[in-house]
Amino acid sequence: MKKLFFSLVALIFATASMAQNHEIGLVVGGLNGLSYKQHMTKNFAIQADLAVGFQSTQLGIIGDGDYIPLQADIFDFILNPNFLYHMDLKYGIYAELGGGVSAGLMQTLHTVNPATLGKFGINAFAGVGYKMDNLPLAFGLDFRPGYAMSINVPMELLLNQFDWHLAASVRYCF
């Protein structure tokens, strides 16, 4: 088992070192923060965003077996890695499809019962972009529908939500 694990890690690092196409930049919209993308092969890329977001959603408070819905404002700190199938189209335009996970912390800003929640979710990814020929810049627009669940340790708050983000990005290519 140990040999298999180290073989997989070595394979990932070898593939990453062969790939010369990296992109780093900013993402704005439903997520606001840093974005990094690495093309592992011609048609496969990994994109990771470290971002913050703000959303207003329905929150359920669980107490004595009762579910009390409340409207809550939530501030997210998210790490969202995605595995993408990359398709080059024409004239520098490309499309990407894939999926990933999101993990992080959420701070509810509700005045009745504010709390910090741990968050974990899954998401799909669909995006289009444009990579410039004469400048090392790439621009993208993507939609990430998903499902997330957030809980705090004493299980006083439970949040299940349709977790979606629409984001635009600009990245420097090297």
**Between β-strands 157-162 and 116-131, what pairing exists: parallel, antiparallel or unpaired?**
unpaired
Domains of the chain by range and CATH?
20-173 (2.40.160.20)
Q: pTM of the full predicted structure?
A: 0.78
The sign of the dihedral angle between the CA atoms of 167, 79, 172, 22 is negative
**61-119: pLDDT as tens digits:** 555 556 666 666 778 899 999 999 999 999 999 999 999 999 998 887 765 667 778 88
What's the pLDDT at 70?
61
**Between β-strands 165-173 and 157-162, what pairing exists: parallel, antiparallel or unpaired?**
unpaired
